[in-house]
């Protein structure tokens, strides 16, 4: 099931982000985002387990996806696609016409998914990550 995050999800979201993308957000930040309509946090839940999350920010007619994470056991099962599609749908309902994100240049599974969802290359940020890997900036627009 895909749904908006609840405060009871915060600790699971933090654990997920820590294991999947290196723990880039803290619990106070995520809790604040859950309370703010312009910072949607959407989760995937299977049974009682949180299996994925996407979060970002809406500013006027643009949005940025901050993080997408799916538990290791649920990758390549459609969770990421459903999460991002839900985020894009939320954005459309709030008047957003374009969405941006950054992704590691070497993250081929993510790049394939973003391409499948209609994202296109907008630019590159060389040596963006701590390990020297570049980030690709991808964009999505309402057609």
Sole residue written with tokens 């964009």:
139
Query: Quick one: angle between helices 79-93 and 108-116, nearest 10?
Result: 50
Strands 98-104 and 62-70: parallel
Which residues are known to be catalytic? 102, 114
| String of DSSP letters for 15-42 | HHHHHHH---S-HHHHHHHHT-TTS-EE
Kindly state the tokens that stand for 33.
Answer: 């985002």
């Amino acid at each position: 099931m895909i749904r908006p995050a609840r405060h009871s999800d915060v600790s699971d979201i933090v654990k997920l982000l820590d294991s999947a993308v290196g723990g880039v957000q803290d619990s106070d930040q995520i809790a604040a985002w859950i309370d703010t309509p312009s910072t949607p946090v959407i989760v995937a839940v299977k049974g009682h387990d949180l299996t994925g999350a996407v979060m970002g920010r809406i500013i006027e007619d643009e949005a940025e996806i901050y993080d997408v994470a799916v538990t290791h056991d649920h990758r390549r099962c459609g969770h990421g696609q459903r999460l991002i599609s839900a985020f894009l749908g939320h954005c459309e309902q709030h008047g957003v016409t374009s969405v941006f994100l950054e992704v590691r240049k070497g993250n081929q599974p993510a790049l394939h998914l973003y391409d499948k969802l209609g994202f296109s290359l907008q630019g590159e940020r060389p040596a963006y990550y701590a390990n020297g890997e570049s980030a690709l900036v991808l964009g999505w627009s309402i057609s």
